[in-house]
Chains A and B, each alone.
Chain A
Amino acid sequence: MNKSLLVYLGVLFTVVASLSGLVLVPDWQFRGIQPYETEDGIRYPQPLAGSTALGREVYIDLGCVYCHTQQVRPEGFGADLDRGWGNRRTVMRDYLFEPRNLTGTMRTGPDLANIGARQPSRDWHNLHLYNPRITSPGSNMPPHPFLFTVGGDESRRPLGATPLPAEWRTPGAAYILPTSRGRHLVDYLLSLNKSVALPEAQ
């Protein structure tokens, strides 16, 4: 008669077991993990703050994670290091203060774990976000015109605006000026740099 009850209890047990084994045990095992202090006295990683933290919110709300990972595979597993996507594999400590899981599972576009180190030009990011085909011909990334205002008068280009390359100019469009969200997003991308040498990643 109580076989049904046995099934109910049994299924509860199995799921609690896997939660404990896969999630709670690693959580407990690595609870003490701390930022690493380099010889120069730099503590890594640091929680993001200010504009870069706001930029991460934009990264989350626009769903960048659906095409871009933020993790570098180890030597001998894929070609991430040979492609120059990082100078070492990424490890647990890199994600110590991440408020969301942005490691990603899809590479329709390239990995971004170190995009700030790989592509430090703010103008490049502005143009690429405004229309990826400007900087990367053949890319299938969606354009993000809503992160920019467009101005037509080159002589009155404000500070922080990026001029459009000659072949992309039209009468009304000579430069693009990021909105505050656009600026935050670029700040965030420029902050992505996981190149600090960590002992466990050697």
Chain B
Amino acid sequence: MGASTANPLPAPREQADLATRAQIDRSCRQTVSIYYASAVFWLLVGSLLALVASLKMHLPGFLSGWEWLTFGRVRPAHLNTVIYGWASMAGVGTLLWLQARLSRVRLPLPLLLPVTGLIWNAGVVYGTAAILMGYGTSTEWLEFPVPALAFFGFCLAVIIYASLLMMMRRKVHHTYVSQWYLYGAILWFPFLYVAGLFLTQAPNVNGTVRAISNWWFAHNVLGLWLTPIGLASAYYFIPKVTGRPVHSYHLSLLGFWTLALFYNWAGTHHLIGGPIPAWVVTVGIVGSMMMFVPVITVAINHHMTMVGQFHFLRTSPTLRFVVFGAMSYTAVSVQGSLTALRSWNEITHFTHYTIAHAHLGVYAFYSMLAFGAMYYILPRVLRSEWSSAPLIKLHFWSCGAGIALYFLALTWAGIEQGRMMNNPDVPFLRIVAYTLPWLASRSVAGVLMTLGHAAFALLVWRIFRDAGKSLPGPTLLTPARLWPDWRRLWSRAGRKTS
């Protein structure tokens, strides 16, 4: 971007490059638009469901006469709309665009892929309605009834096919690290979904094996579906925006394969102290500990790529969200590994601490990265620009403050809740009374995050409205100053202090 503004007439080769990229972006327009617009819609629906669920926790009489809005239905409806509506649809959009760009081929299946976007939406509508009407499975993370498989199975089969086509047609023989993660994500998730659904819902499966399968699946939706898409985005956008190559190829390699090997063994740490064989729990704890390897590796790799480039956070919306997400990845993973330790799990399991941890993962890490990816990709596929830098700032700060408050309040409440629960002299209702103010502050956090989502939805609405109106330059957060001396002074000072 910087090079093309400095030199209004790029060299022929660069011009050809730009044209190829524009063609690839154009080929992604329908598909990415449908997936992204739907994702934002489900983000809003999911936020509303979250607010209702959150309010019900400290105001139990709120909307209590309506069976379809009872807490036990609104809560899974929230989880499933944000996971399968928001996070997965945003993820598919990002995955397809990234793979097309990295393979330097146009997105294949120009008719079928947009149709899968519609079918995916139908699947989420069906599943969410089923949960609210009482047909949910009460199997955490798999609440959509079994027929939902027909919707998602078809879409995923088409997406796998598209991914394989791009892999075979690719013009670039070097396979960039982001692509490893994308190949992983697109094969892992369909496998997980089919196996998880079968093992938790089929008759004649031992109840304990159901419990293990449930957490093998649920943990891996984050670990082998959302995490690889998130990390693929981080590996792509950090170098892309800063213009610096990834710090170390070997660290990337180590980080990827250790994640692939260890993450999917960690899920049984959700059953510590539960009615499952001790060795299965131990394997889960070992898997969780081994996760330190890919997490530290990726953290070093991303940090070393960012060193000296942090000033981009002032201007680039994409990088601001991506770096927030990448740092949260390190935080949530370290927290997750430590939570798998028996002594800490004894306190935190069964409490709001786990809910805070889940949101640190899916929200502070994954969703912030998804926002960052959308800030980069949408202007390119739609050929228009974000309409307002202040709205982007509102989005960032409102969501950032919201998730921070959310995490701190529920983590604290959860630790205290667990400590009290492990002391048999504390009556149960005193624990409930203790958590209520913290649950109320979670509702405040939810309002903040929803406000940020509304700002983002407005921006997305406007960029779709402006599609095709190519604007001269990208929307940056800090407009160019009138007095360049100040900037130079600032950056010089910044260099000295860092």
Q: Which of A1, A7, A22, A29 contacts B267 (CB 8 A)?
A: A22
Number of residue pairs spanning A and B whose beta carbons lie under 8 angstroms apart = 226
Tell me whether B136 and A61 are in contact (CB under 8 A). Answer: yes
Report the nearest A residue to B420, measured CB to CB: A79
Report the nearest B residue to A56, measured CB to CB: B138
Tell me whether A22 and B280 are in contact (CB under 8 A). Answer: yes
**B428 at interface, CB cutoff 8 A:** yes
CA A133 – CA B60 in complex, angstroms?
10
Known contacts: A1-B173, A144-B70. The answer to whether A94 contacts B275 by CB under 8 A is yes
Question: Which stretch (A13-21, A151-159, A160-168, A169-177) binds chain B?
Answer: A13-21
Question: Which stretch (A35-43, A103-111, A119-127) binds chain B?
Answer: A103-111
Residues 191-223 of chain B: 1 if any A CB is under 8 Å from the residue's CB, otherwise 0? Answer: 110010001110101111111111010001000
**B134 at interface, CB cutoff 8 A:** yes
With a CB–CB cut-off of 8 A, which chain A residues contact B267? 22
Q: Which residues of B contact A (CB under 8 A)?
A: 56-58, 60-61, 64-67, 70-73, 75-76, 134-140, 167, 170, 173, 175, 179-180, 183-184, 187-188, 191-192, 195, 199-201, 203, 205-214, 216, 220, 224, 257, 260-261, 264-265, 267-268, 270-271, 273-277, 280, 283-284, 342, 346, 349-351, 354-355, 421-424, 428-429, 432-433, 436, 439
A and B contact pairs by CB, cutoff 8 A, 21 listed: A4-B183, A8-B187, A16-B191, A19-B195, A22-B268, A23-B212, A29-B277, A61-B135, A63-B72, A63-B76, A65-B140, A96-B206, A96-B207, A98-B210, A100-B139, A103-B211, A105-B140, A132-B60, A138-B432, A140-B57, A140-B439
Range class of the A interface residue count = 35 or more
Tell me whether A83 and B424 are in contact (CB under 8 A). Answer: yes
Query: What's the least CB distance linking A47 to chain B, in Å?
Result: 11
Tell me whether B424 and A14 are in contact (CB under 8 A). Answer: no
Tell me whether B139 and A146 are in contact (CB under 8 A). Answer: no
Q: Which of B72, B265, B274, B432 contacts A140 (CB 8 A)?
A: B432
Chain A interface, >50% SS class: loop
With a CB–CB cut-off of 8 A, which chain B residues contact A63? 70-73, 75-76, 136, 138
Q: Which 8 pairs, one residue from A and one from B, show the smallest C-beta to C-beta distance? A: A63-B72, A95-B207, A98-B207, A82-B424, A61-B134, A18-B264, A107-B350, A11-B184
